[in-house]
């Protein structure tokens, strides 16, 4: 096995070096659901830009991804299909003008939509898209007046208490709802909604309590300016325009930019306005190629992939003085952010973080920042000119720690749980930005492994205490940004070990027993996206490279000598890395954007995590 490990490491290093771009970055596809492909077709037809060639490629990809049942899915083992994805793909195909409306494949999709509750059962974002195109009644959407945007931060709930992701989407959505905007062209299709699904949506007690608080706040400020309604609309517009990136996109997300374009049209911008033209160009720049054809990424992962690959290569023995590492470090240093973003409302530290996408300049996050810092650590140690960048990044990470001791994604202390009752699907995950075990574990792993901090440091101690409280009864941890319990457990275990928690610690021993208990008979590990929805571990019938690598790295850091579980797992990982994995194992999404609604197949993950795990095994056991 030793020879196979060394040979595989050598091959991965060679291949990754050859894939590096001239500017030092790596470009791998961030492959998400069909939503972005469908919405791009819809947007291009709505703006009447022509673009038949791009639309044709996107149409071709949608057909390739349709299941035999006539549906579209978020992940391979999703039973039957996903209602929202199927509505989006069907509407886009009809809108494309390249599909016969009577096509049997569309009829199958429509029967599925009809049989599963129709538009009312779709995700809120899907319903907003449909409403904009006259397919769904605005009265059924988000019963919150636009004045909500003006509630002061001192009020029990305000716009500023929401996560940055939620704010970014809510600003255009509230403008659209306020205007009851509908855009129809000569080719906008009509999708028939089943009369059986026309049931008025109800609100539960928690949602009604939140709506009542928002109403109270609006009444409290309503007596001040007479033009409050107009002011709120102007605030939404300015919020969006101030967060447009240099590529024209709004916060570097396809989804937020898509709705921004329609919101601007709703208030009178022309389709030919330079802001809209540039935004569309930015969205077209998010295209990548997959085995099923052209795909529009929701947020290209170039900075994230470059940081992780640079770090993985260094862990595999590539020195900081080698050309590939020097170029990657140079690229990452250029992407460090020195502007004050919204995160600064809650944190007093100076800017110094990193974002996820190449165009992202104001929206840094903790995970990308620790990834970039890992990649530049050795270079910073050897070059005084780089050290200030590392110091500022380190200070930024420490400054983002939440009051509870854990780490969030984008902004600290966005933790008001009442906002998880916001009347939008997915609000329980997207409305706030709480500490999560995966981000906390990864922050600790960086602080221990690269910054030399130990469990005695007050911030580290607080992080460990929070993590231990979050452990599930059976020994796992939930991962918010990866699938799911394997991901969270790997992050928590490697994080605590890096800061000096003993392998004999009861929490770590419990985690070890759990990881071994879910190992598959072939030696690997595989976990379904259903885990994320059921909030309990659901196994896959096959192993995936990234999940196998995560489980193994956690076990390796706990054991002084290889155990039967580790050796069996390593053989499975080597098989996966050397071509034994079937197509599904290599393409199954193991990243999460929005729990229950948005999963990601990172094309880079099959390279990064297995390489790191092989390097760990080799370094520790020879």
Peptide bond into 29 cis (omega under 30): no
Tens of pLDDT, residue by residue over 468-482, are 999 999 999 999 999
Decide if pLDDT at 619 tops 50: yes
Which structural domains are found in the chain, ordered by start? 1-28+298-621 (1.50.10.20), 33-193+224-296 (1.50.10.20)
The whole-number pLDDT of residue 191 equals 87
Q: Where are the alpha helices (DSSP H) in 450-484?
A: 458-470
What mean pLDDT comes out for the span 270-290? Answer: 98
**Contact between 251 and 188 (Cβ < 8 Å):** no
Q: Any idea which of 27-36, 328-337, 574-583 has the lowest mean pLDDT?
A: 574-583
The whole-number pLDDT of residue 423 equals 84
Compute the distance between CA of residue 314 and CA of residue 458 in angstroms, rounded to an integer: 30
The whole-number pLDDT of residue 175 equals 97
**Contact between 231 and 150 (Cβ < 8 Å):** yes
561-596 burial: b if 16+ Cβ within 10 Å, else e: ebeebbebbbebbbbbbeeebeeebbbbbbbbbbbb
The whole-number pLDDT of residue 197 equals 46
The whole-number pLDDT of residue 422 equals 87
Q: Any idea which of 15-19, 218-222, 484-488 has the lowest mean pLDDT?
A: 218-222
Helix (H) or strand (E) holding 95: helix 83-96
**Contact between 449 and 502 (Cβ < 8 Å):** no
Tens of pLDDT, residue by residue over 307-340, are 999 999 999 999 999 999 999 999 999 999 999 9
The whole-number pLDDT of residue 266 equals 98
Tens of pLDDT, residue by residue over 540-552, are 999 999 999 999 9
Residues designated as active site: 367
For residue 503, what is the DSSP state? T
Tens of pLDDT, residue by residue over 452-470, are 999 999 999 999 999 999 9
Q: Left if phi > 0, otherwise alpha if psi is -120 to 50, otherwise beta: which for 301? A: alpha
Tens of pLDDT, residue by residue over 555-567, are 999 999 999 999 9
Compute the distance between CA of residue 488 and CA of residue 331 in angstroms, rounded to an integer: 29
When the pLDDT of each residue in the chain is averaged and rounded to a whole number, the result is: 94
Tens of pLDDT, residue by residue over 356-404, are 999 999 999 999 999 999 999 999 999 999 999 999 999 999 999 999 9
Decide if pLDDT at 226 tops 70: no
The whole-number pLDDT of residue 196 equals 46
What mean pLDDT comes out for the span 50-57? Answer: 96
Compute the distance between CA of residue 618 and CA of residue 9 in angstroms, rounded to an integer: 10
Confidence bin at 519 (pLDDT 50/70/90): very high
What residues contact residue 100 under an 8 Å CB cut-off, 6+ apart?
A: none
Helix (H, G, I), strand (E, B) or coil at 304: helix
């Amino acid at each position: 096995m030793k020879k196979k490990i060394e040979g595989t490491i050598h091959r991965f290093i060679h291949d990754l070096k050859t894939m590096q771009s001239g500017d030092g970055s790596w470009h791998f596809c961030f492959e998400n659901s069909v939503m972005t492909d469908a919405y791009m077709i819809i947007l291009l037809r709505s703006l009447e830009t022509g673009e038949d060639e791009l639309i044709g490629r996107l149409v071709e990809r949608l057909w390739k991804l349709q299941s035999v049942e006539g549906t579209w899915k978020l992940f391979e083992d999703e039973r039957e299909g996903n209602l929202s994805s199927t509505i989006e793909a069907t509407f886009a195909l009809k809108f494309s003008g390249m599909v016969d409306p009577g096509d049997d494949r569309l009829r199958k999709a429509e029967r599925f939509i009809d049989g599963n509750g129709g538009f009312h059962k779709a995700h809120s974002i899907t319903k907003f898209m449909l409403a904009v195109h006259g397919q769904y009644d605005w009265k059924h959407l988000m019963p919150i007046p636009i004045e909500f945007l003006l509630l002061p931060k001192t009020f029990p709930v305000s716009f500023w208490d929401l996560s940055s992701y939620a704010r970014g989407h809510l600003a255009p959505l509230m403008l659209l709802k306020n205007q009851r905007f509908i855009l129809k062209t000569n080719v906008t299709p009509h999708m028939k909604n089943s009369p059986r699904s026309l049931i008025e949506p109800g609100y539960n007690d928690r949602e009604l309590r939140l709506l009542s608080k928002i109403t109270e706040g609006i009444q409290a400020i309503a007596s001040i300016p007479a033009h409050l309604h107009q002011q709120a609309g102007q605030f939404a517009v300015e919020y969006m325009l101030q967060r447009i990136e240099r590529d024209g996109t709004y916060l570097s997300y396809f989804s937020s930019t898509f709705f921004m374009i329609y919101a601007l049209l709703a208030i009178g911008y022309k389709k030919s306005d330079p802001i809209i033209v540039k935004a569309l160009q930015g969205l077209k720049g998010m295209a990548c190629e997959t085995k099923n054809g052209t795909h529009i990424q929701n947020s290209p992962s170039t900075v994230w992939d470059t940081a992780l690959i640079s770090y993985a290569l260094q862990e595999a023995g590539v020195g900081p003085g080698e050309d590939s590492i020097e170029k990657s470090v140079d690229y990452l240093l250029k992407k460090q952010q020195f502007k004050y973003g919204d995160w600064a409302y809650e944190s007093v530290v100076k800017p110094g973080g990193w974002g996820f996408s190449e165009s992202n300049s104001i929206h840094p996050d903790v995970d990308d920042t620790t990834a970039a810092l890992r990649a530049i650590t050795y270079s910073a140690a050897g070059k005084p000119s780089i050290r200030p960048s590392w110091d500022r990044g380190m200070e930024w990470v420490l400054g983002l720690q939440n009051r509870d001791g854990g780490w969030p994604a984008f902004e600290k202390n966005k933790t008001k749980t009442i906002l998880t009752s916001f009347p939008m699907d997915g609000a329980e995950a997207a409305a706030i930005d709480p500490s999560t075990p995966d981000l906390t574990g990864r922050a600790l792993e960086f602080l221990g492994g690269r910054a030399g901090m130990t469990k005695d440091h007050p911030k580290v101690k607080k992080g460990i205490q929070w993590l231990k409280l979050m452990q599930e009864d059976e020994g796992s941890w939930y991962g918010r940004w990866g699938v799911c319990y394997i991901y969270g457990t790997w992050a928590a275990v490697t994080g605590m070990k890096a800061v000096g928690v003993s392998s004999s610690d009861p929490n770590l021993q419990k985690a070890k027993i759990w990881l071994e208990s879910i190992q598959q008979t072939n030696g690997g590990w595989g976990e379904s996206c259903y885990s994320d929805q059921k909030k309990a571990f659901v196994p896959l019938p096959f192993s995936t490279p990234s999940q196998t690598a995560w489980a193994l790295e956690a076990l390796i850091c706990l054991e002084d000598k290889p155990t039967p579980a580790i050796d069996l797992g390593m053989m499975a990982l080597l098989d996966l890395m050397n071509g034994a994995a079937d197509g599904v194992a290599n393409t199954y999404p193991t990243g999460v954007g929005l729990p229950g609604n948005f999963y990601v197949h990172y094309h880079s993950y099959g390279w990064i995590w297995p390489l790191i795990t092989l390097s760990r095994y080799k370094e520790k056991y020879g």
